[in-house]
Amino acid sequence: MISVYHKDRLDDIVKTLHDLDVDLYSTGGTRDFIAGLGIPVTAVEDVTSYPSIFGGRVKTLHPKIFGGILYRREMKEDLAQAAEYDIPAIDLVIVDLYPFEETVAAGASDADIIEKIDIGGISLIRAAAKNFQDVVIVPSKREYLPLLNLLKEKGGETSLEDRKRFAAAAFEVSSHYDSAIFNYFNADGIMPAFKCSLSGEKPLRYGENPHQHGAFYGAFDELFTQLHGKEISYNNLVDIDAAVSLIADFNEAPTFAILKHNNACGVASDDVLVEAWKKALAGDPVSAFGGVFIANRPIDAATATEINALFFEILIAPGFSDEALQILEVKKNRILLQQKGFPGGKMQFRSLLNGVVVQEKDLHTETPEELRTVTDLAPTGAQVADLLFANRLVKHTKSNAIVLVKDRQLLGSGMGQTSRVDALRQAIEKAHRFNFDLKGAVMSSDAYFPFPDCVAIAHDAGITAVVHPGGSIRDGESIDYCNQHQMAMVCTGIRHFKH
């Protein structure tokens, strides 16, 4: 029984089955395709004595088709009933499903999407997979080649192990398909259930550490083209995710970011990309060694020449000039990724305890209008630009986090500290270690200041403007300190914890 949407490479299978003297049943366009190859095929309608009805919604849903798939060959009662009702044995089912997910992704109308909910196909898949003791099920075009190889290697014979493997593939297809349909209907979260299905395992060398197994599930190639370098690891993927999330918030000017262990150690924007790279590197040239680099503009030869002087793991950009590739590909293990887009979706999840936690992604990026001045002194235009730059960075920095910025350049950051004061001292120490003058710099905090100690320390270091969410019952103490020391402070009302 053959009824498919995708017919690529189907001709090889059909010809092989014909050479093995297998009787073929088919429907509609698939039957026409097979007949066009000059191979005998019986229409399903001739078996069921029913035409395709309701605009093709009902074609194979008939006892003679499903009975032929489901009857148990080893049971006398089933064999007798099959003979009594003239039900033909169907030992192989090749079927795929209407492209529901592709139709949704294309922005089709609700009516078109509903018509892409497969009924007959999914029923054939489940029936054949259930009776894997006797029946081979080929549930998608991904299984065409394995079937073809099996037919040629074994001359039409299959083992129970073969059939069980195809059945597992079938239930993977059906469960994934049903999850996609459920998530479409449950887009507003009206049903209290979490369904996520990802296909296409990419085995990794190991997980976070060599003793841990690791794998990636998803369509990595939809977002990136790997132009050069070694196999991507688990830790590489985590860093790539962090880098892409960060750079998504910087699009106004050429920007470079350098990340290490998911946190930015160098970020800068400039009118010229190579200058953005130099400023980003200056932020922490020590941590940049072996880091992950990302740019929001194509890499040119001048930028590639500068980058080439440093050892790094990964470079991500929306494009590379031919000259840049020639320069960068001299090291065989460097991973060069051309970014084709950004991950979609508004939700994120992670395994936790004996379940999963789900939340909306932190996609909020503050605008000048959202900065509420709470001090007597308002920030200048240049300070506002730096405050927004810093606030974008702190959003992508592990809490507790403090970020120091001047002239669209990260000067120092404190991250992952148990105390906000410790995070600030870490940021100041790093800025001083790399010879930055913090006079006139701005500070961003991912959460409010519970005490005025942070603004006092910042003032002593030369910080002149501060942005934080606000919301502490003691905000007034920090505001008073700023007023007494000619510092500008703005509040956003938005916290950006990252754990």
Tokens at 372, concatenated: 């509420």
Instruction: Give CA angle at 51 (50, 56), nearest 5°.
Output: 130
Nearest alpha-carbon partner for 400 in 426, 366, 371, 374 = 426
Q: How far apart are the first and last CA of the chain?
A: 53
Catalytic residues: 130, 261
- Residues facing residue 336 across a β-bridge: 228, 315
CB 301 within 8 A of CB 327: yes
Nearest alpha-carbon partner for 385 in 408, 363, 364, 362 = 408
Residue with tokens 């920090």: 478
Half-sphere exposure of 152 (CA within 13 A, CB side): 11
Chain centre distance of CA 127: 33
What whole-number distance in Å separates Cα of residue 335 and Cα of residue 457? 41
